[in-house]
A and B are shown apart, each in its own frame.
Chain A
C-alpha cells in the first residue's frame, strides 16, 4: 500500500505522467486511428491515384484471396515457433549444465552478450557473407570436409532455416543468461530437501527446478516470441524475402507494399490484420502458459 503522503488528491502527479501519455497519443494512438481509417480506402499513391472508399474490401482481399499474405503468415509463424523452441531448449540445457559457480563469470557474460547488442542489420550482412552459396565460408568449410554445398539462400526449403540459424546464434545467449540468473536465484536448500526425500537429480530438475523457474520461462518465451514476430532486418539483409517469397515475413510484406509500391490503403489494412493476429497469439500463449504454472 502507498502511504498517505502520496495521496490521491495530489494534482502534481499529472505533471509527471502526462508528458509520456501525450507523447504516446500523438505517436501511437493517432497514427493507429488514421491507419484504420485509411484501410477502408483504395489508395495507390505511386500512380497518383485518388483515394476511393471501398469499405471492407481490403480486408476481404487479404483474408480470402491474398496468397502472399498467407504464405508470409505461415513463414512468420514457422520462424517464431522454431526460434523460440530451439533457443529455449538450448538455453535451458546450457543453463542447467552450467548452474554452478562459473569461473570468470563476468568475462563469459560479456562474451555471450555480444551478438544481441549488435545491430540486427549488421548481423544480417555478416551472415549473408557466411551463408553466400559460392564463396561463403560455411560452404567452403563443408567442401573442406567433403560435404556437399548447401544452397542457403537460394533453396526454398533451406532458406527459412538459414534465418532460423542466424536468430539462434543471436538470441540463444539471451535465453541462457536469463535462465541461468533464474536458476542461480533458487536457494540450495530445496535441492537438499529433494535429495533427502530421495529424488534423483533428474527428478529434482523436472519436479522442483522447472516449476520454480516457470514464471521466468514464461516471461522469456513471451519476450522472444514477440520479438521474433517483428522479424525484418534478417529478411531485408540476407534473403530479401526470396527465394520465391519463402522467407518473406509479414513485417517485410507491409514495408514493401507500403513504402515500395505505395499501396497505402492495402498496407494499412495488412498492418491491422497483423496487429490483431499478434494480439490473439499473445493472449492465447499467455493463457496456455498460465495454466501450466
Chain B
C-alpha cells in the first residue's frame, strides 16, 4: 500500500469521525427524550437509555396524554393544524401574487427593490414590538382566542418570507416562455396562471411547507392571543408544563409530540430548508 492511499483513508476516517460526533451531539437530546417518554415518572430521573436492558419501558406518559389530558391535547392539536394549514394557504396566495409582481413588473415611484426591502424588513424586526397593539386590536375586534386572530398574526409572520422566496423562484423561470404565450394571445393573468404557477410548483410546495412549520412553532403570539378555545399546541404545552414541569416522562412525550410534525415536513423538504431560512441567499 502506498503512502498516499493510507493518507486518503486517514482523511476519510477523520471526516467520518467529525460527522458522527456532530450528529450524536445534535440528536442525542432527542433520543434521550424518546427514551424518557417511555419511562415511569420515578424512572425518568435515572440515567438510562436502553429499554429492557436499563429500564422497563412503560406507557405511563403516553397513557396520560391519550387519557387524562386527551381533551386538551386533541383540541390544541386540531387548532394548530387548522391555524397552520389555513394561514399558510393564505400566505401562499398573497405571497405568490406579490412575488410575481416584484419579479415581473416594473414599479416606478416606489421601485421594486424598495418594496422588496421593506417587506423583508418586516420579517427582521422583533415581533414583540407589535405584540401589544395587535393584542389591543384583536381585543377591540372581539377576536381574542379565535382562529382568525392567530391566522392573521401567523400570516404576518410568514408573508415576508413567502414573498421573497416566490420572487426568487419566479426569477428563475425564463421570461421567454411567458412572452411567447402572450404573443400567442394569452392574457397576462392567463400567462401567470397557466405558465408561471405550474412551472414554480416545487417552489410553491416549499413555501407552503416552510410557513406551515413556522406557524406550527410560533409561540409568542399564540400564547398571548389564545388561552382556551383557540389555544395552539405549543401554547398548551407551556401551560401544562409550567405546573407539572418536573414530570420528565410527560415533558418528553409532550415535547416530542410538538417536535414530530414539523420534523417530518422538514425531512421531506430538507433541500429547501436552508434556502428558505436564508431568504434564498444560500442555495444549499
> Chain A: residues with CB nearer than 8 A to chain B?
2-3, 5-8, 10, 12-13, 15-17, 19-21, 23-24, 27-28, 30-32, 34-35, 38, 94, 97-98, 100, 102-103, 106, 108-123, 125-130, 132, 135, 137, 140-141, 144, 169, 173-174, 176-178, 180-182, 185, 216, 219-220, 223, 226, 229-230, 232-233, 236-237, 250-251, 254-255, 258-259, 264, 267-268, 271-272, 274-275, 278-279, 282
Give the docked Cα–Cα distance between A108 and B20 (Å): 9
Chain B residues in 8 Å Cβ range of A7: 106
CB of B156 within 8 Å of the partner chain? yes
Known: A5-B182, A10-B188, A121-B238. A112 touches B128 (CB 8 A): no
Expressed in whole angstroms, the Cα–Cα distance for A31 and B188 within the complex equals: 35
Are A126 and B33 in contact, with the CB atoms below 8 A?
Answer: yes
| Chain B residue at minimal CB-CB distance from A13 | B105
Residue pair B115, A17 in contact (C-beta under 8 Å): yes
Given A126-B33, A268-B132, 5 more A-B residue pairs with CB atoms under 8 Å apart are: A5-B179, A12-B189, A121-B234, A258-B135, A275-B125
Residue pair A220, B278 in contact (C-beta under 8 Å): yes
Interface-central residue, B19, B130, B132, B248, by most chain A CB under 10 Å:
B132
Residue of B36, B106, B241, B273 touching A113 (CB-CB under 8 A):
B273
Q: Which residues of B contact A272 (CB under 8 A)?
A: 129
Proximity bits, B254-267, A CB within 8 Å = 1, else 0: 11001100110111
* Cβ-defined contact, A110 with B106, below 8 A: no
Distance, CA A259 to CA B45, complexed state (A): 35
| B22 beta carbon closer than 8 Å to chain A | yes
Q: Shortest Cβ distance from A146 into chain B, in angstroms?
A: 14
- Rounded to whole Å, the gap between the CB of B132 and the closest CB of chain A is 4
Q: Mark B91-115, 1 if CB is under 8 A from A, else 0.
A: 0001101101110111110000001
Which residue of chain B lies nearest to A106 when distances are taken between CB atoms in the complex? Answer: B270
Could you say which residues of chain A place their CB within 8 Å of the CB of B281? 216, 219
Per the bound structure, the CA–CA distance linking A190 and B156 in Å amounts to 43
Contacts of B265 in A (CB 8 A): 117
Closest CB-CB distance, A149 to chain B, in whole Å? 14
**Is there an interface contact between B224 and A255, defined as CB atoms closer than 8 Å?**
yes
Q: Are A220 and B282 in contact (CB under 8 A)?
A: yes
Which one of A8, A121, A275 contacts B108 once the chains associate, using CB atoms below 8 Å?
Answer: A8
Name the distance in Å between A212's Cβ and chain B's nearest Cβ: 14
| CB neighbours of A237 from chain B (8 A) | 238, 241
CB-based contact A169/B29 at 8 Å: yes
Query: What residues of A have a CB within 8 angstroms of the CB of B255 in the complex?
Result: 122-123, 125-126
- B residues in contact with A115, CB < 8 Å: 26, 29-30
Q: Given that A112-B23, A122-B259 are contacting pairs, would A130 and B278 also be in contact in the complex, using a CB cutoff of 8 Å?
A: no
Neighbour of B133 across the interface among A24, A31, A178, CB < 8 A: A31
Q: Does A119 contact B133, Cβ atoms closer than 8 Å?
A: no
**A17→B98 contact, CB < 8 A:** yes
* B282 close to A219 (CB less than 8 A): yes
Number of interface residues of B (CB under 8 A): 95
B159 touches A111 (CB 8 A): no
Q: 7 A-B residue contacts at CB 8 Å? A: A17-B115, A20-B163, A113-B273, A129-B33, A229-B126, A250-B128, A255-B131
Instruction: Determine the chain A residues whose CB is within 8 A of the CB of B106 once the complex forms.
Output: 2, 6-8
Question: Known contacts A6-B105, A100-B15, A113-B273: does B135 contact A271 (CB below 8 Å)?
Answer: no
Residues B277 and A174 in contact, CB atoms below 8 Å apart:
yes
B32 lies within 8 A of chain A by Cβ: yes
Q: Does B220 contact A (CB under 8 A)?
A: yes
B56: which A residues are within 8 A, CB to CB? none
Partner of B159, one of A23, A32, A178, A279: A23
Closest 10 CB pairs of A and B: A16-B101, A119-B217, A31-B133, A181-B284, A20-B98, A13-B105, A117-B266, A17-B101, A271-B129, A122-B255
Could you tell me the distance between the alpha carbons of A137 and B31 in the complex, rounded to whole angstroms?
13
B100, A111: Cβ atoms closer than 8 Å: no
Residue pair A19, B136 in contact (C-beta under 8 Å): no
Q: A17-B98, A17-B101 are in contact. Are A232 and B220 (CB under 8 A)?
A: yes
- Residues of B near A185 (CB, < 8 A) are 283
Residue among B18, B134, B152, B284 with the highest chain A CB neighbour number at 10 A: B284
A174 to B275, CA, bound (A): 11
Bound state CA distance, A151 and B89, in angstroms? Answer: 45
Tell me the chain B residues, 165-180 only, with Cβ under 8 Å from chain A: 175, 178-179
Q: Across the two chains, which residue of chain B brings its CB closest to A282?
A: B124
Do B220 and A255 touch (CB < 8 A)?
Answer: yes
